[in-house]
């Protein structure tokens, strides 16, 4: 009997070690609650909780995750300040800034090296040769 209790406690500890907590947004919580209702509605073989649904969805999604999905996530969470901080950190470490970035910074400050050329209008071939009657005849 004692052996069964020890195995049960050991099994519980193993499951507890495998569990992690995450935070989700309010919109994700509403979606998850809706999924739980849909999954359990008419299901007489048991009860599926939100953690089980979340695990199933994540594992299923991971199977089909592709580079397009990665680009979508990165695009949604793109942070210009973080990029600039990363570029600055890299420039401090290497002492070098790329030529493109240097030109962009100079342009931003109005210090770009290329003088602005004035655009000249060329002559056109669109000419009318004819007589204009001043009296409107």
6 and 57 co-located in one domain: yes
Q: Is residue 36 part of a domain?
A: yes
Distance from the first to the final alpha carbon of the chain: 122
Containing structural domain, residue 87 = 79-112
pTM of the entire structure? Answer: 0.54
Question: How would you write the pLDDT of the chain (137 residues) with one tens digit per residue?
Answer: 555 555 555 555 555 568 889 999 999 999 999 999 999 999 999 999 999 999 999 999 999 999 999 999 999 999 999 999 999 999 999 999 889 988 888 888 888 766 566 777 777 777 666 766 777 65
Q: Does residue 88 fall inside a structural domain? A: yes
| Domains identified in the chain, total number | 2
Same domain, 58 and 85: no
Residue 41 lies in a domain: yes
Is 61 found in the same domain as 86?
Answer: no
Is residue 31, in this structure, part of any structural domain at all? yes
């Amino acid at each position: 009997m004692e052996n069964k209790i020890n195995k049960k406690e050991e099994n519980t500890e193993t499951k507890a070690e495998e569990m992690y907590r995450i935070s989700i947004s309010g919109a994700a919580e509403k979606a998850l609650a809706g999924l739980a209702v849909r999954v359990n509605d008419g299901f007489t073989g048991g009860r599926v909780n939100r953690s089980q649904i979340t695990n199933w969805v994540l594992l299923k999604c991971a199977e089909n995750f592709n580079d397009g999905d990665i680009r979508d996530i990165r695009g949604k969470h793109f942070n210009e300040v973080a990029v600039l901080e990363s570029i600055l950190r890299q420039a401090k470490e290497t002492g070098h800034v790329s030529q493109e970035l240097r030109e962009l910074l100079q342009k931003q400050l109005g210090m770009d090296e290329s003088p602005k050329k004035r655009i000249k209008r060329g002559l056109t071939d669109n000419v009318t040769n004819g007589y204009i009657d001043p009296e409107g005849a």
